[in-house]
Amino acid sequence: MKAKTTRILITGAHGQLGQALLANLPWLPEFSPSRLRMEIPEASLVPRSAVEHHSVIAPGSAIEIVALGHQQLDLTSADLPERLSEINADVIINCAAYNAVDAAEQDMAAAMALNAEAPERLAIWCRQQGAWLIHISSDYVFGNVFGHVFGNDWGSVFGNVSGNASANMLGNAPRALTESDVCQPLSLYGQSKLAGEQRLLKANPGALVLRTSWLYSRFGSNFVLTMRRLLTERPELKVVADQVGTPTWAEALARLIWQLLIWFHLNPEKSAVLSGCFHYAATGQCSWYLFTKEIAEQIAKQQCNSAPSSQAAPLQTGSRSQAALHAQSNPAPITPGCRITPVSTAEYGALLNRAQAPRPAYSALDSSALKDAMAAMPSAFRCYLPKDYPSPIWLSWQAQLALMLSGLGASSLD
């Protein structure tokens, strides 16, 4: 059987998810100036009977990864199709996006160019070349599907919150949103993301759209890293309590995508593993306020249990531990008595003293459809990931947060 190589292009490789994908490769890659080549060890192949039955793969196969940021590949440039043909990828993971939610209100053209027009152009090229496209979208495509979740009584729900923030204290919060719920984005950013989904799937129905929400990671600038820093600097944090969603660890999403990519690699026809629109987020839901409370509580717990013997074991990435990859400056301890105070979206806007784009009051995502679709994949495909590549994909948002923070190093918070 002939060994095969699958070439994967990651756009927006310098962003949170792009970096998470590169930090969570299932096997250690060989580096070259222009790309990574990830050889799949023969020892990790599925049992011989399964290989013969499915005619899946031969030893020596590899996945090549071309990871490009905006400076290396401008998705809005006129010569994009030519650049894509030069790279000649079998799969494109589009992590590139215009994510400045507030700025998009003043620069809709830029948001549409990157969030709507670029995905459509990628979709057309992939359809013409027989490549698979995975596109990342946002929970902000939704408006207030159930009306304003907390009405004018949000204070009675969140005003007297105490104790363990991991408890479900969402009052009258409704069910999580499914792919069939109506999209009515409130912001121009949300409108641009929805337009991207619609134009992409119209141009290429075989593409896959993954909607996710409230992404955070050890990379770049995000809510968890910001709160982790502010908890050490300020005596009080005022945090929005009337927006509810699902915090999602970017590295869990990265591992989900790698699982899909390996299944694609094993597919002899190199056809799409999944197509259409699916949701992916951690399980559970919370407000930004409860999220901040949980961040503070988990950090405080790690500070109290910072001896090496009591730390949580980090996830493994190939033969490297995640802790070894978390080379970041170590923050100071949390400010003693730091108060975390719930405020409404309107109150927070007044504190900022600047205009904010409207956000959905409720945007927790239900990932059941994706989980069911992945569970239905051939068992031979699921055998392929290394044994030391554990999956945090379907964990609660609290459990994903704990893994992220433990990887940053509890002892560094003393």
Catalytic site positions? 189
d(CA 267, CA 273) in angstroms, rounded, equals: 8
Identify which of 383, 20, 30 has the alpha carbon closest to the alpha carbon of residue 222.
20
Task: Give me the amino acid identity at 92.
Answer: I
Distances (CA, A) of 97 to 93, 143, 254: 12, 20, 16
Token duo for residue 275: 């197509």
Plot region of 156 (φ>0 → left; ψ -120 to 50 → alpha; else → beta): alpha
Three-state secondary structure of 225-240:
HHHHHHCCCCCEEEEE
d(CA 177, CA 305) in angstroms, rounded, equals: 37
* Residue 207 buriedness (CB in 10 A; 0-12 / 13-18 / 19+): buried
